[in-house]
Structure 1
Amino acid sequence: MTGFSTDSLARTTTLRQLQILVAVARFGGYTRAAEALHLTQPTVSMQVKKLSESIGLPLFEVSGKQLQLTPAGRKTLDASQDILNRLELLGGEISSLTGEVKGELRIAVVTTAKYFMPHLLGVFVHRYPDVEPRLFVTNREKILERLEEAQDDLLIMGKVPEELEVDATPFLDNDLVVIAPPGHRLAKKRAISLKQLLNERFLLREPGSGTRLAMDKLFKEEHLVLEPYMELGSIEAIKQAVMAGLGISVMSEHNLRLELDSGKISVLDVKGFPLRRHWFAVHASSRKLSLVAQTFLDFIRDEGSAILHD
């Protein structure tokens, strides 16, 4: 290893090397990073090695079967993300000088938002055809990781994280309803109490999901304990289980359009429901939005509800 030199580092380090470092750290290995960057694994490995030589210290170490950043690697990763984020902002600032809404728009959404976000993106891209949308769908845990790592322009979620410094813009009502299979014994009842629901087999999302957090909070406030009959990892699995008569559940009304229209699922009349929540567009408070991201934020805030209810 050569000794560290600021001048040498500036002359030998490339932006591509910084991008590769960020990808290897994000995916935890050379192979997945290579796939994501459309490069070969040897190319990725070689570029990390060259960057490590420029720094003068190893950037990664193998712990068991895991590839982990060294202290020097963590410092280099932080600097790499800062540089790449600043270049991203520069691109947005240059676009704003021309007033043209164009370029990449990266949106990450929790799985429950996948039912409406493509519709909003479709209308937006039709209006601004030079925008290149990137939509990433995942669970809440991954969304928070992406938020901390500044991987996206905006993140769409139903519960704003209190532990992070973020700006959150509500743009759409998110009504949670209690659902059951058609012909369920409670389907014709009115003003069903939460206590009555405890006698039913509850099908719920995994702990940590936005809907699960809302349900746990509601039952706790009523001094009731909600014991799930089954925990399922996806909305589709829950809908299929409800239609099959395995139990009842709680879900966002936005996710039920087809099933309600076709009569395959019924909404129960439960006291306190619909549980009114909101969808939020979130970004780190320290992150300045690009022109395309700000335009999209304004669009979903001002027109999102009307478009989806049209």
Structure 2
Amino acid sequence: MDLSRLSTDALASFAVFADHLNFTRAADELHLSQPALHVKVRKLSETLGRPLYTRHGRRLVLTPAGERVARFARDLDARMTAFLAEVDGAAASRVPTLAAGEGAYLYLLGDAVHPGVRLINGDRARTLTAVRTGRADVGVAVLDVLPGDVEAEPLASYPQTLVMPDGHPLTARPRLTLADLAGAALVVPPPTGPHRITLERALRAAEVPWTLAVEAEGWPLMLHFVSLRVGLAVVNGCVPPPPGLAAREIIDLPAVPYYALHLPGRADDPLVTGLLTAVRTAVRSTPCASRSPSISTPRPRPSGTS
């Protein structure tokens, strides 16, 4: 590996590419041509001797090596910014960055979102990537499996509920089982979404027949279709039903756990600790906190641990 060919310019360009995972948008931000950015990323990959991204269908995804390189590039940029500020006699400052999905922003994070925080909106995979690459100081996501390379603090766990119009026969029951959904027309997310996959597996395992009413992206649109009586929807218990709709817990579906995520080495970073405090407070104060069977209170870390 010829590290003499490793340039800070290539690292900075790769960090921008890692933000977008799209050569067109990254090249526009860098004021480069796409071919020039391709060359920079390819040469950086050759210098390091490993691929930095892969292609999954039409999507580009960072490899573990790519995530480490992006994280190193951002750390290097932050150190350089702090050094130059010190030379100029100015105080270095960074804006804390929070990454989360649409549902978390709409129903959980509340007061944690304000002009003093930079926001990244993305699904679970993008939120994890933003944390792993150092683009986000803290992420909030639903996790089924805890990653080994990221600290994951449980925030809250919510039941899954069936949302239906007021007056629907199932509203007479305080709780439901999957068997109660037999023959229902359901409003569901697209097939590749984790919520859709989990729900379909559970219905199949319980041998519950159902029909597809419509596929919709995001809780608000799903609830809108339920309001129009297109079908019923299974949603996270943190999603409040709007007027005219009712929600009932489905007791044999697994609870949905939300976690706050950050890099292990940043447990004492003021940007991380400040955001974590704001996120915890927001989750506890949100209206759906009363519907959560588990709102986590983090335990103090033993001294000397991360």
Partners of 1:93 and 1:291 within 8 A in 2:
no
Counterpart position of 1:97: none
**TM-score (normalizing by structure 2):** 0.68
**1:203 equivalenced with 2:181 (yes/no):** no
Partners of 2:109 and 2:283 within 8 A in 1:
no
**1:20 equivalenced with 2:13 (yes/no):** yes
Identity of aligned residues (%): 15
1:123-142 map, 5 Å:
132-142=116-126
Distance 1:67 1:271, change over 3 A: closer
**1:242 equivalenced with 2:226 (yes/no):** yes
Show CA shifts across 1:224-273 (max 9, x none): 3464513322222211111111111111243326x1xxx221123x5517
Counterpart position of 2:150: 166
SS at match of 1:155: strand
In the alignment, residue 106 of structure 1 is paired with which amino acid? T
Counterpart position of 2:286: 308
Counterpart position of 1:178: 162
Counterpart position of 1:294: 273
SS at match of 1:206: coil
Bigger Rg over Cα: 1
Give distance in 1, aligned partners of 2:176 and 2:48. Answer: 65
Counterpart position of 1:224: 207
**1:267 equivalenced with 2:234 (yes/no):** no
Show CA shifts across 1:168-200 (max 9, x none): 112234343210023323223454442121221
**TM-score (normalizing by structure 1):** 0.67
Give distance in 2, aligned partners of 1:89 and 1:288. Answer: 17
Partners of 2:154 and 2:259 within 8 A in 1:
yes
Distance 1:49 1:297, change over 3 A: closer
Give distance in 1, aligned partners of 2:2 and 2:174. Answer: 73
Distance 1:240 1:26, change over 3 A: same
Distance 1:250 1:77, change over 3 A: closer
Show CA shifts across 1:113-135 (max 9, x none): 12135523246x6xxxxxx4221
Distance 1:164 1:150, change over 3 A: farther
Distance 1:45 1:228, change over 3 A: farther
Give distance in 2, aligned partners of 1:188 and 1:246. Answer: 20
Unaligned runs of 5+ in 1: 95-99, 126-131
136-145 or 290-299, which deviates more: 136-145
Distance 1:101 1:275, change over 3 A: farther
Show CA shifts across 1:281-301 (max 9, x none): 013445556311122113333
Partners of 1:115 and 1:254 within 8 A in 2:
no
